[in-house]
A and B are shown apart, each in its own frame.
Chain A
Amino acid sequence: MKQVLEGSHAVAEAVRLAKVQVISAYPITPQTHIVERLSDYCADGTIKARFLRVESEHSALAVMIGAASTGMRTFTATSSQGLALMHELLHWSSGARLPIVMAEVNRALAPGWNIWADQTDSLSQRDTGWIQLYCETGQEVLDTTLLAFRLAEAVNLPVMVVLDAFFLSHTYEPVDIPSQAQVDEFLPPIIPRIQLDPANPCALNQLSPPNIYMEMRYQIHLVMQAALSELEKFEGDFERIFGRRYGAVEPFLCQDAEIILVTSGTITSTSRQFVLDQRAQGEKIGVLKVKLFRPFPVEAVRGYLKNARKVGVIDRNFSFGAGGIFAQEVRAALYGLARRPPVFGFIAGLGGRDVTLESLGEILTRLKTLKRPDPESIWIGLQEVQLAGPKS
C-alpha cells in the first residue's frame, strides 16, 4: 500500500519485511531514524529479531560478522565516521564471505564537522569487497534493501545500500510498501553456506598462506563479477512480483543525446527534471544514472556512453590528489574503446551543498564551451579560495 514515508523508514520497512534475524547498530546522524524504527519494531514484537546494542560501529559490524557466521540474516546501518570506524571489519566481512546487508547514509567526513550529504564516506570503502548500490528515491531505497538480501545471500558477499543524507534519509514521499506475502515470494529464508554450529564444530578464517591466499582473492573477484548477472536475474524476479525495475545503470533520454550527464543518488532525480527542461529548449541531452558502483558495470556504461559527443560526470565526492571518484571509474571503463567520448569531471554538492537546476545549468554551459577535458576536476559553485600551504 502506498503511503507517505520517510527514506529512513523505507529502509526499516524493508528490513521488517525481509524478516531479518539479527540487528546491531550504533546511532549516528543522519542514519539514526533507521535503527530507531527498527529498535521500536524489535521491542514491540513486530520484528522477531535480536537487537544488540553496542558501544561503537566497529562492535556493531563485529556482531554482524558473528551472527552471519552462524547463518543468520543480518542488518546494520551507519554513516560517515561510523563507516570509517568499521573499515577493518568491512574487509573482514567480504573476506569471510558473509552476506551482511548495511544501509549507509552518505554523510561528509570530519573535520570540518558536517552531517550533510557527501559520498566520500562510502566511496572511500570501494576496495573493501562490498557490493555498493546507490539509490535515488524512497521507493528505490525500500526495493534495493530487499534486493540486497537476495543478492548478498546468493553471492556470499556483503552489500551496502547507499542513500543521500537528508535529501533521501529525511525526505517524506509516497512509497509503496509491499505485502509480506509478496516479499516472502521474492525473498525466501536464508539458506546459509557458512554456519557455525556447536553440534558440528569447525573453525573459520584460519591462517591462509601464500599458496592459497591469492586463489581466495580471485574467488572473491569472480563472485563479484557474477554479482552483475545475479542482480539482473533478481531484478527480473523483482519486476515480476512488484512491477518495478532499476538496472545497474539506467539511461534517461540517452538514445540520441549528444551530451550525457553521469550521476548517482538524488542528483539524478534533479538531473531528470533538468534534462526535461533542456529537451524542451531543443538540447540533445540525457542522464545516465549509475546505481551499481561495485562491481562497476563497465559494459553497460560503455554501451550507453560510447556514442555521446561529450560526457559530464557529476561527483558529490572527492579523492584528494586525483578527482571525482565516479569520473575516474567512467574514464577507466571507456579507455578500452577505440572511439570514446571525452569525459569531463565536475565536483558539486560536497558536504550537503545543494545541487540545483542552476548548478546543472552551469555544468551544461561548461560542457558546451570546453573543447577538451582537463585532468583537473571542475568545481561548481566554488567561492574564491586561497592556497594555504607551502610557502616559497
Chain B
Amino acid sequence: MLEIRFHGRGGQGTVVASILLANAFFKAGYYVQSFPLFGVERRGAPVEAYLRLDKQEILIRTNVYHPDHVVVMDRSILQAVDVSKGMKKGGYILINAPAVPKGDHWNSAFRPAWVDATRIARDNGLGTRTHPILNTAMMGAFARVLGMPPMEAVVKAIQEEVPDQVEKNVQAAKDAYLAVEGFEI
C-alpha cells in the first residue's frame, strides 16, 4: 500500500487534487481511498488530505501518519507546517514552486521535486491570476515523479471528473508532466 499526504491552503483545491488522483489510480486498476483531514474550514488555512492506494482492498480507515510521499500545493506552507512529519525515508516531497525552496524543512532522507504549477495554471487560463487552479497541474507532475499513474489514466480522470475547461486542465497536466524537476529518472 502507498500512502500520500497532501498539504495546501483552503481554497487551493488540495482535497480535489487527492480525489482526482484517486480517480486516476482507480482507472489504472488500483483500490483507492481518499479523504480530507477536516478542520475549521476557511480560505487560506492549512488543510490536509490523504490518498491510499493498493492492489488489494484497503481495510484501514485512519488518518495517514507515515506517508510514503507528500504533495505541497503552496510553498508558503513550508513555514507553517512540518510537511515531512512522520514521512517514510526516501519519499518524494512534490512542491508547487519555481525552484527548490531553501531551508531546513527536509534533509537527505527525503527527495524534493518541484514544479511551477501556479505559472502553468495561469498560462492555461485556469482560475484567476490570484487564485489559479493548481490541482490538474500537480497531478501531471505527480504522475511523472512517481512514474504512476499512467498519463492516460490522468487524462481520463480529468475528462470524466473535471466539470469544465477540460482541455485546458488536460494541457496543464501535460505541461507539468514535462516541467517538473528534481526527481531521478
Residues of A within 8 A of B (CB): 3-4, 30, 115-116, 166-168, 170-174, 266-267, 269-270, 272-273, 276, 354-357
Contact = CB atoms under 8 A, between A and B. Distances in A.
Given A115-B38, A166-B38, A173 B60 contact: no
Contact of B61 (A30, A174, A266): A266
B40 to A, nearest CB: 9
Given A4-B22, A266-B61, A273-B60, A170 B32 contact: no
A170 B59 contact: no
A172 B60 contact: no
Contacts of B76: none
Interface in B27-67: 31-36, 38, 58-63, 65
Contact of B36 (A115, A170, A173, A354): A170
B23 A4 contact: yes
B19 interface: yes
B47 to A, nearest CB: 12
A116 B38 contact: yes
B59 A272 contact: yes
Given A4-B19, A172-B22, A174-B26, A357 B60 contact: yes
A114 B33 CA distance: 24
A276 B56 CA distance: 14
13 contacts: A4-B26, A4-B32, A4-B34, A166-B38, A168-B61, A170-B35, A172-B33, A172-B34, A173-B31, A174-B32, A269-B59, A272-B59, A357-B60
A278 to B, nearest CB: 13
A272 B38 CA distance: 24
A166 B35 contact: yes
A93 to B, nearest CB: 30
Contacts, number: 57
Contacts of B35: 166-167, 170-172
A4 B33 CA distance: 9
Contact of A173 (B33, B62, B63, B65): B33
B19 A174 contact: no
- Name the residue among A166, A168, A172 with the largest chain B CB count within 10 angstroms: A172
Nearest to A349: B62
Contacts of A354: 62-63
A3 B26 CA distance: 8
A7 to B, nearest CB: 9
A2 to B, nearest CB: 8
Contacts of B32: 4, 172-174
- Name the residue among A4, A269, A270, A272 with the largest chain B CB count within 10 angstroms: A4
A306 to B, nearest CB: 27
A115 B37 CA distance: 12
Given A4-B22, A115-B38, A173-B32, 5 more contacts: A4-B32, A267-B61, A270-B61, A270-B62, A356-B62
Question: Which 10 A-B residue pairs are closest in the complex by CB-CB distance?
Answer: A273-B59, A171-B35, A172-B34, A266-B61, A269-B61, A356-B62, A272-B59, A273-B60, A4-B26, A173-B33
Given A4-B22, A4-B26, A172-B22, A270 B59 contact: yes
Contacts of B62: 270, 354-357
B26 to A, nearest CB: 5
Contacts of A276: 59
A30 B38 contact: yes
Contacts of A270: 59-62
A54 B65 CA distance: 41
A270 B59 CA distance: 6
Nearest to B25: A4
B60 A166 contact: no
- Name the residue among B32, B35, B58, B65 with the largest chain A CB count within 10 angstroms: B35
A276 B33 CA distance: 19
Interface string B70-110: 00000000000000000000000000000000000000000
B36 A166 contact: yes
A174 B31 contact: yes
A173 B58 contact: yes
Contacts of B63: 354
Contacts of A356: 62, 65
